[in-house]
Amino acid sequence: MVMVADLAEDRLSTIRARFPLVVTTLDYLQLLHNEAIEAVVVATPVSTHARLVREALVAGKHVLVEKPITDSGATAEGLIELAAQSNRVLMVGHTFLFNPAVEVLRNLVHCGELGDIYYAHAQRLNLGLFQRDINVLWDLAPHDISILMHVLGAEPIAAGAHGAAYVQHGIEDVAYVNLAFPKRTSAAIHVSWLDPNKVRRITIVGSRKMAVYDDVQTLEKIRVYDRSVHAPPHTDGFGEFQLSYRYGSITIPHLPSAEPLRLEDEHFLECIRTGRVPLTDGRQGLQVVRVLEPAHASLSAGGALFPVPQQAAACSHSDGTAEMQLIPA
């Protein structure tokens, strides 16, 4: 039993033409009240996420909601609590965490191949698609924030941002985010709806090696650079010493061909069947929102860094088992 609800009849008719066995409705309540349906996917404007997810959970459905989980940390917390009480799976569509390239990147960091992580910088640029209800920060930065938290295995402790709105009044279409992670690691994210090129690139600079993840590439998404610069161990920054630069080879690992969206959906189904906690569960979605909120506040405060509220037991679910399975030995 598959049912699709939408407010637009033309979209529904397109779906029926393509998937003739799918039932469609203009009234989402028909979907929520249908007892044959166990799980729903919420892909609606962000401002409606909190209400629709709540209603779905109350109706006893498992829920996969598009990112960001909601437009505020407070409502996201409520949903997490509700899902826990009703023993339903609540998962957020941070699709990139199901991308094999991201998994390779994470392993490079976690196994220490890059050394200590100095900093990361990310660009997610494009011409369009302008959103009407959220700015570019809420639209595009969730991808990079979720990837960086997953890859670095840490959560930002402070966030700032500056940006500007050029095309739509009051809705930023360009933004630069500045994240402070523990252990002096920093990250910068540049998001834009207003750029001539499609860019989706994340660079991670470590003390031993560096890596670039370029998602626009079809095959060669990850490059590992065996390059670094070394300062002698005991220097005070004033004495005479020589830095040494190391330039080694570049490695482009072969990635398993996989469709992240399919892996995400299969993971959702598996979590429903087995009760496993999703890789991108409500708490992960909440933490992304907890970074977006101070970054958004910073936009109108001159770019100052604001603290990111910390979770009690952050990342306890990120035990690495789920993502390991994505990359066959």
> Residue numbers of the site for a copy of itself (CB under 8 A)?
20-21, 118-119, 121, 127-128, 130, 160, 162, 164, 166-171, 174, 176, 178, 184, 186, 188, 190, 193-198, 203, 205, 207, 210-212, 218-220, 223, 225-227, 229, 231, 235-237, 243, 245, 247-254, 302-305
Tell me the closest approach of the beta carbon of residue 55 to a copy of itself, in angstroms: 26
Q: Which is nearer to a copy of itself, 245 or 275 (CB)?
A: 245
Tell me the closest approach of the beta carbon of residue 297 to a copy of itself, in angstroms: 14
Q: Which is nearer to a copy of itself, 212 or 314 (CB)?
A: 212
CA–CA dist 247, 249 (Å, integer): 7
Neighbours of 154 (CB within 10 A): 17
Tell me the closest approach of the beta carbon of residue 159 to a copy of itself, in angstroms: 12
CA atoms within 13 A on the CB side of 9: 0
Q: Which is nearer to a copy of itself, 59 or 222 (CB)?
A: 222
- The pair of three-digit structure tokens given for residue 30, joined into one six-digit string: 């028909």
Q: Which is nearer to a copy of itself, 197 or 316 (CB)?
A: 197
Alpha carbon 253 to chain centroid, angstroms: 23
Q: Which is nearer to a copy of itself, 69 or 117 (CB)?
A: 117
Q: Which is nearer to a copy of itself, 166 or 266 (CB)?
A: 166
Tell me the closest approach of the beta carbon of residue 83 to a copy of itself, in angstroms: 31
CA–CA dist 141, 200 (Å, integer): 11
Q: Are 315 and 106 in contact (CB under 8 A)?
A: no
Tell me the closest approach of the beta carbon of residue 277 to a copy of itself, in angstroms: 30
Q: How far is CA 240 from CA 55, 236, 243, 262, in A?
A: 66, 9, 10, 56
CA–CA dist 57, 112 (Å, integer): 40
Q: Are 243 and 231 in contact (CB under 8 A)?
A: yes
Tell me the closest approach of the beta carbon of residue 191 to a copy of itself, in angstroms: 11
